[in-house]
Amino acid sequence: MGCVTKGATDSIVLVSGDEELLVTRAVAHAVETARAADPGADLREYEGGTLGAGEIAEMVSPSLFGGRRVLVIRNGQDAKKDLTAALLSYAKQPDPDVTLVITHPGGAKGKALADGLKSAGATVVQAMKLKGNRERVAFVRDEFRRLGGRCTDDAAEALLAAVGNDLRELAAACSQLVADTDGRIGADTVARYYRGRAEVSGFTVADAAMVGDVPGALEALRWALHVGVDPVPIADAIADGVRTVARVASAGRGSAYQLASSLGMPAWKIERAQRQGRGWSPEGLVDAMRAAAECNAEVKGGSDDRGYALERAIFAVAAARQGTGASDGARRGSGVR
């Protein structure tokens, strides 16, 4: 969740940093803590740049029906001066039945709000991007402990080498390893797993394809195949990427945390799908799902060239996103061989 500095009050939580996974977890933890005290706590989320100072009084005023309330203000750095003043005034004497969570990336913009909340005694959760290999190794080891497993330093190093530095990918890899093993992870476990499985590499290919980055998706695919990754999990990841964006898009608007329970997905995965879903049309997603299904059939049905089937799927998904049709994309893909 990040380093926590306890303040004079738990009623106000400042999430300071710009690492998406850590920010998401910190907000979720604050909400869960409030709901542990009152399962019926009312949750409302706002954007700092669009919230007016006059709305603060209504947000924090006693409810006619009682009960705890959780107010999440994201991107506090965008708060205007009058909103900043209203929040800092409230922070001097917060309502114990209200949990106010404010996220701030930690930069110079909106620094007066962050500093004022700290001075008022807010609990501060650090969610800054990790710097250097040592911090990333520590994150991996902490992640395994959080999941009930444990790993050695060389295992953490091996996982970083295999997966990269993206915390979301690392967290997913840790979760998969704990689920597939007895939870005791050594460098040999990581090496054995990544020789035979491709979930993370597959997700890298799928993520690039879903945002239309054809060169990036092809590069990731060719590297994965070069090091011996099985094409089947890559095809699965492409299909999962399309399905996830389609499910999240069909769920309508809402914060990732609000949609998490109804969709049965972690909030970070919903946030990623919301970002990837920009630029997609319903018709394009239908074409992409058809292309992913055809790719799965070819890859799992013993196609003579499974790598080529995956390349065609990448071009088809990108074409579907552009609205030119999956079949057109597949034809363009056939010209690169």
Query: What does the pLDDT read at residue 199?
Result: 45
Provide the pLDDT for residue 331. 42
What's the mean per-residue pLDDT of the chain?
86
pLDDT (0 to 100) of residue 327:
44
* pLDDT at residue 242, as a whole number: 95
Query: How far are the Cα atoms of 141, 146, 181, 335 from residue 191, in angstroms, in the given order?
Result: 17, 22, 13, 36
Ramachandran category for residue 186: left, alpha or beta (phi over 0 → left; psi -120 to 50 → alpha): beta
Looking at residue 63, its pLDDT comes to 63
pTM: 0.59
Interatomic CA distance for residues 169 and 94, integer angstroms: 38
C-alpha R_g of the chain: 23
